[in-house]
């Protein structure tokens, strides 16, 4: 048996999220589209495992997936090109390579990098409308960065996960949170963490937007975090501003912040996004 690892880029606008769902056609989810294409190539129904269950509308530059196959006649380049050709143009396999048999992209992941993009202007945007969340005002980046700094390190992020999150606990480690100036009126929040609860980056993004628009103080974020109460946090920012940029497997993670060493930074089972 071979296991093939894929790096997948997709435009989330075209899909109802990563995961196959009852009542949806295969092509309406990223996983379904890949599985349907694989079945065409190998004549065998094949399950594709993903590193991250991205929600509807969420984009990916570097989702990682894997599948097992007995098919020896198709090389990795054949899978790379075939899967891109047999799926809609909103889905591209950027790389396919052999992996250790049974390799699992989720269990093996050491971290993930997400980018949340805002459109920071009083007028909306035509060209970024499906890639950035229009916050209907101008964001103050210094305030946002001050707020984001409170989230660095290992914490119990109970206040920043949605009610539907199935993970046993919300202790996670954030290695990096940077607020960056993008082109034109775009502002990006780049988050690197060991693992993420359901909607966590989107709740970070929604809360930081309120800080950036002057509706909350940066210090509120520390209070929200300590409260462990989801109702204290900001809105869940819409999915179309979020992009999964990289799933990290090697030693390229930034050094862990020195604080909060007493909490267990291992991701809990069943985490979201």
Known catalytic residues?
55
Residues 6+ apart with CB under 8 A from 30: 8, 10, 15, 17, 18, 50, 54, 60, 63, 91
According to DSSP, the residues that pair with 246 across neighbouring strands are 113
Task: Assess 237 for contact with a copy of itself (CB under 8 A).
Answer: no
Which lies closer to a copy of itself via its Cβ, residue 23 or residue 89?
89
CA distance 18 to 6: 14
Residue 235 to residues 116, 165, 202, 223, Cα–Cα distance (Å): 14, 16, 8, 16
- From the list 4, 10, 143, 171, which residue makes contact with a copy of itself (rule: CB under 8 A)? 10
CA distance 169 to 73: 44
Task: Assess 129 for contact with a copy of itself (CB under 8 A).
Answer: yes
Size of the site for a copy of itself (CB under 8 A): 24
Coil, helix or strand for 208?
Answer: helix
User: What tokens appear for 73 in the block?
Assistant: 């006649």
Task: Assess 36 for contact with a copy of itself (CB under 8 A).
Answer: no
- From the list 5, 9, 51, 186, which residue makes contact with a copy of itself (rule: CB under 8 A)? 9
Coil, helix or strand for 229?
Answer: coil
- From the list 93, 132, 167, 201, which residue makes contact with a copy of itself (rule: CB under 8 A)? 93
Select from 40-48, 97-105, 125-133, 258-266 the region that touches a copy of itself (CB under 8 A): 125-133
- From the list 49, 53, 131, 216, which residue makes contact with a copy of itself (rule: CB under 8 A)? 131
Task: Assess 94 for contact with a copy of itself (CB under 8 A).
Answer: yes
* Contacts to a copy of itself by CB under 8 A: 9-11, 59, 61, 80, 84, 89-95, 121, 123-127, 129, 131, 184, 243
């Amino acid at each position: 048996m071979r296991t093939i690892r894929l790096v997948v880029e997709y435009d989330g606008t075209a899909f109802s999220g990563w995961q196959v769902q009852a009542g949806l056609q295969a092509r309406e989810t990223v996983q379904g589209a890949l599985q349907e294409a694989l079945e065409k190539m190998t004549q065998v129904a094949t399950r594709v495992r993903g590193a991250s269950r991205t929600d509807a509308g969420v984009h990916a530059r570097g989702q990682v997936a894997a599948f097992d196959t007995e098919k020896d006649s198709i090389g990795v380049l054949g899978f790379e090109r075939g899967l891109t050709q047999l799926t809609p143009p909103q889905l591209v396999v950027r790389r396919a390579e052999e992996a250790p048999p049974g390799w699992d992209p989720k269990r093996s992941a050491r971290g993930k990098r997400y980018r949340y993009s805002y459109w920071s202007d009083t007028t909306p945007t035509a060209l970024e409308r499906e890639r950035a969340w229009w916050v209907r005002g101008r964001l103050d980046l210094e305030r946002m960065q001050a707020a984001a700094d409170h989230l660095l390190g290992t914490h119990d992020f109970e206040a920043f996960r949605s009610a539907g999150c199935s993970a046993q606990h919300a202790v996670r480690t954030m290695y990096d949170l940077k607020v960056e100036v993008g082109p034109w009126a775009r502002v990006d929040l780049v988050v690197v963490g060991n693992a993420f609860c359901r909607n966590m980056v989107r709740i970070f993004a929604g809360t930081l937007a309120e800080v950036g628009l002057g509706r909350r103080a940066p210090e509120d974020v520390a209070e929200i975090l300590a409260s462990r109460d989801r109702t204290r946090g900001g809105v869940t920012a819409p999915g179309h501003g979020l992009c999964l940029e990289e799933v990290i497997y090697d030693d390229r993670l930034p050094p862990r912040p020195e604080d909060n060493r007493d909490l267990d930074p291992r991701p809990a089972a069943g985490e979201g996004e």
